[in-house]
């Protein structure tokens, strides 16, 4: 990896790898497979070997071209004392280590291969394990059997060691003297944990640090206090409320520079000069604050105080709101000590930049709850029972949160009733939008038949519109939410007026999954997404609307007090048609056909394109495989678009981070642009290509007007530049949908750098399609996905780190072998 580049952080695969330092049993070796078949969406990244790896994992010494899948061994023998007797909850012990013992290494489906030559890849998140196996085995069922076998053996060896390690680290994350039970959590303690997490690139170590800190918060909370843990979790993911509430930070740079200057007595020019030097406003604030002399020590900040002030800033509106925000920020900075100023400013910017993904927070929360539960009940479970309990709690919390993504509801229920009652207390609820289920792309009709062989499936039109989740509460309140949980009720007032017309009296409360599509009411013809994007987003009045929409419903997730996620799609579809009615031009059911042959699917696909749709969605009809899976991109839903059949591939959603001044006809506007994908784990943007085609003169002028206010003199600290040298940099705000003919390795760009080899991956012949107003910069395509596109000339906009590397490796496989491969089951959120 080139000097100075920052590798993407590894992923957590399981509990044993996070805490354990002992050996695991060796299980049967699977046959060798090409490297690209081994890598899942959240693994496969290379790592430089540090002098001392806390998790005890050594790099694989096998040749780079071939790898074996085996049960991952941590390769360090445990100390007899620590292996047999964990320390007491509040006792600090010496963490002795034994010399590594070499054993044959085998990677199970719960882990992934490590890169050779001193670089290691950390395992993926738990749910990614199952899904990514579909790429590397001859059948889905075979992989699931092997996965469960590998998990069982790992759990038997390392559960007790995991718990001991978790309890030992509480002293490492605590502040000097700690804080008393019932007192507010000191913000200094949270800042210390952020610093420790930022200092390591190892996902397993990040998770262990966070678990230990959350354990301290739970231990020291007052009776009936659920707020301390709730606010701590929100600050860890840099949010202040559930997504659908819409309380967001993201304060502008100029406002923060002004606040830092006022708080520290420095001029704005000096602060800007420091920013140009450091590239990180958080570091500028920390250095400015630490160089400032004070007459007395300010009152220590607490998590509740910081959280309340951040929320007040986010909610401030009106003419005097800017001055009010500066005043609050100045007050916060005046009380900062140590590294607190750095993380407060980063929180205000909207980016903590510590590489702490939300799924890591959920896993750490589950582990902390189980460990505290064991302490409170004064029980010490044996290895097998503790591992089973930890895995069970993780699965329950992740499952519940995917159905009810609101920490405001989940965390109080978790603390009051425990893990076992969480499913009963927290279920899918109208008014709380869940993250939608997404489909995997496929490039050939034959692959659809291979995937659904001997199983009932249906084909539906894939409408070219905006995903809409419609909720009706018991009191009659109706809301419409986007795929990102944004409340779109004010954006679509006409849709709100239309909805009562399509409901039958039997539908008292419901949640339906649908697509809002622009329609020409005069002839009933569907219009492309570009027409829909012309609508205003705010202050929309029904009488001013020129582009009308029709809602096409395709799934029913909740009906009259009962969640339907675990009913078959066939049953859900029947209930949908039973309780709703068609209103021409306003509401309809997604057009479907239960096809069985290639010719039938081909005919239906051509019909969908003729009717103005993007292609087809192919869905399982019966069995558990047809259940609705929130937050997940599943192989049980496949999307078949006309572009795939042409070999062009699905589009990528990329962020505009730089611009090149135009020449000739393009003088006075930007002639080309630098694009980047988003690495969610590393919290950074990785450059991927320069684009200058697909633009009309009008489009270039429009892009110039949009991007001009976002200009920066130097790249933001979270942009991984590489060798790209644009004339101007932009604040990463604007997302474009881009098509590409191919992918290639590049020494200039940094996308997926280190995941395939030391060079990054770039797009060949990229072409601009449209602006994605419905997506934020953090929703852009992840590095892993490009690797996947490179193999099958298709991709799916997943927000995880190694997707670009995956696309590339699969492209290489397809080009070298010319073989056909079944789609995988990558997990969208997890």
Four-CA torsion 797, 15, 103, 110, nearest 10 degrees = -40
Helix or strand run (H / E) with residue 618:
strand 615-620
CB 147 within 8 A of CB 108: yes
CB 518 within 8 A of CB 531: yes
Distance CA 515, CA 528 (A): 13
3-state secondary structure of 341: helix
Distance CA 366, CA 393 (A): 6
DSSP string, 519-530: EETTTTEE--HH
Distance CA 433, CA 404 (A): 7
The crossing angle, in degrees rounded to 10, of helices 253-264 and 268-278 is 120
Sign of CA dihedral 21, 29, 101, 40: negative
CB 754 within 8 A of CB 10: no
- Buried/exposed code over 344-381 (b: 16+ C-beta within 10 A; e: otherwise): bbbbbbebbbbbbbbbbbbbbbbbbbbbbbbbeeeeeb
46 is catalytic: no
Helix or strand run (H / E) with residue 329:
helix 321-334
Closest C-alpha to 460, from 627, 617, 642? 617
- Neighbouring C-beta atoms of residue 562, cutoff 10 Å: 12
Give me the catalytic one of 115, 192, 462, 567. 462
Distance CA 248, CA 226 (A): 22
Residue 635 has which token pair?
């192989």
CB 589 within 8 A of CB 455: no
List residues with catalytic annotation.
462
């Amino acid at each position: 990896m080139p000097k100075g580049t920052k590798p993407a952080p590894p992923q957590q695969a399981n509990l044993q790898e996070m805490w354990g330092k002992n050996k695991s049993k060796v299980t049967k070796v699977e046959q060798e497979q090409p490297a690209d078949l081994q890598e899942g969406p959240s693994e496969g990244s290379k790592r430089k070997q540090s002098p001392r790896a806390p998790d005890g994992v050594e790099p694989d010494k096998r040749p780079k071209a071939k790898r074996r899948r085996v049960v991952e061994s941590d390769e360090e023998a445990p100390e007899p004392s620590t292996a047999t007797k964990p320390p007491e909850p509040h006792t600090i012990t010496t963490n002795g280590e034994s010399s590594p013992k070499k054993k044959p290494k085998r990677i199970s489906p719960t882990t992934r291969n490590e890169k050779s030559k001193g670089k290691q890849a950390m395992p993926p998140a738990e749910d990614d394990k199952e899904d990514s196996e579909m790429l590397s085995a001859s059948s889905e069922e075979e992989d699931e059997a092997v996965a469960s076998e590998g998990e069982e053996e790992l759990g038997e060896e390392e559960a007790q060691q995991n718990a001991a390690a978790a309890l030992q680290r509480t002293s490492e994350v605590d502040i000097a003297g700690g804080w008393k039970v019932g007192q507010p959590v000191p913000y200094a303690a949270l800042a210390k944990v952020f610093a420790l997490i930022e200092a390591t690139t190892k996902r397993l170590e990040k998770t262990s640090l966070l678990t230990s800190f959350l354990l301290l918060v739970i231990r020291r909370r007052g009776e009936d206090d659920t707020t301390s843990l709730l606010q701590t979790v929100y600050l860890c993911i840099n949010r202040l409320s559930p997504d659908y509430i819409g309380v967001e930070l993201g304060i502008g740079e100029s406002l923060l520079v002004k606040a830092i200057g006022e708080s520290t007595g420095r001029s704005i020019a000096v602060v800007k000069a420091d920013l140009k030097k450091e590239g990180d406003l958080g570091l500028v604030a920390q250095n400015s604050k630490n160089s400032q002399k004070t007459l007395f020590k300010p009152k220590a900040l607490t998590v509740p105080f910081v959280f309340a002030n951040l929320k007040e800033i986010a909610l401030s509106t009106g003419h005097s709101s800017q001055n009010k925000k500066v005043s609050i920020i100045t007050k916060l900075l005046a009380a900062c000590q140590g590294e607190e100023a750095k993380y407060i400013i980063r929180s205000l910017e909207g980016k903590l930049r510590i590489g702490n993904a939300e799924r890591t927070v959920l896993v750490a929360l589950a582990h902390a709850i189980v460990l505290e539960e064991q302490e409170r009940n004064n029980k010490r479970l044996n290895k097998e029972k503790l591992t089973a309990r930890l895995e069970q709690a993780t699965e329950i919390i992740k499952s519940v949160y995917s159905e009810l993504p609101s920490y405001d509801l989940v965390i109080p229920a978790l603390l009051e009733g425990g893990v076992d009652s969480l499913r009963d207390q927290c279920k899918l609820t109208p008014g709380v939008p869940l993250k939608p289920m997404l489909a995997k792309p496929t490039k050939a009709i034959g692959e659809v038949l291979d995937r659904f062989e001997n199983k009932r499936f249906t084909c539906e039109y894939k409408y070219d519109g905006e995903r809409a989740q419609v909720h009706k509460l018991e009191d009659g309140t109706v809301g419409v939410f986007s795929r990102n949980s944004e409340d779109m009720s004010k954006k679509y007032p006409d849709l709100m007026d239309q909805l009562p017309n399509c409901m039958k009296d039997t539908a008292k409360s419901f949640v339906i999954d649908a697509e809002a599509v622009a329609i020409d009411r005069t002839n009933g013809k569907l219009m492309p997404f570009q027409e829909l994007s012309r609508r205003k987003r705010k202050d929309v009045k029904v009488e001013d609307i020129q582009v009308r929409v029709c809602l096409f419903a395709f799934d029913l997730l909740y009906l009259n007090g009962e969640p339907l996620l675990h009913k078959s799609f066939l049953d859900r579809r029947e209930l949908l048609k039973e309780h709703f009615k068609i209103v021409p031009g306003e509401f309809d059911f997604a057009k479907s056909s239960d096809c069985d042959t290639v010719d039938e699917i081909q005919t239906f696909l051509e019909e969908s394109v003729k009717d103005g749709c993007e292609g087809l969605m192919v869905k399982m009809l019966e069995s558990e495989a047809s259940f609705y899976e929130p937050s997940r991109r599943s192989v049980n839903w496949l999307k078949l678009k006309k572009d795939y059949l042409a070999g062009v591939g699905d589009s990528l959603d990329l962020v505009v981070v730089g611009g090149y001044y135009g020449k000739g006809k393009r003088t006075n506007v930007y002639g080309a642009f630098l694009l980047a994908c988003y690495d969610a784990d590393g919290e950074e943007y990785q450059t991927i290509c320069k684009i200058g085609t697909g633009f009309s003169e009008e489009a270039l002028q429009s892009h110039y007007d949009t991007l001009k206010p976002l200009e920066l003199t130097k790249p933001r600290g979270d942009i991984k530049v590489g060798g790209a040298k644009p004339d101007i940099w932009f604040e990463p705000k604007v997302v474009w949908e881009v098509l590409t003919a191919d992918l290639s390795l590049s020494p200039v760009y940094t996308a997926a750098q280190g995941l395939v080899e030391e060079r990054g991956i770039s797009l060949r012949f990229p072409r601009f399609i449209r602006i994605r107003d419905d997506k934020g910069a953090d929703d852009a395509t992840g590095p892993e996905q490009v690797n996947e596109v490179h193999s099958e000339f298709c991709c799916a906009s997943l927000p995880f780190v190694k997707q670009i590397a995956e696309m590339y490796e699969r492209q290489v496989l397809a080009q070298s072998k010319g073989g056909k491969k079944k789609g995988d089951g990558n997990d969208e959120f997890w």
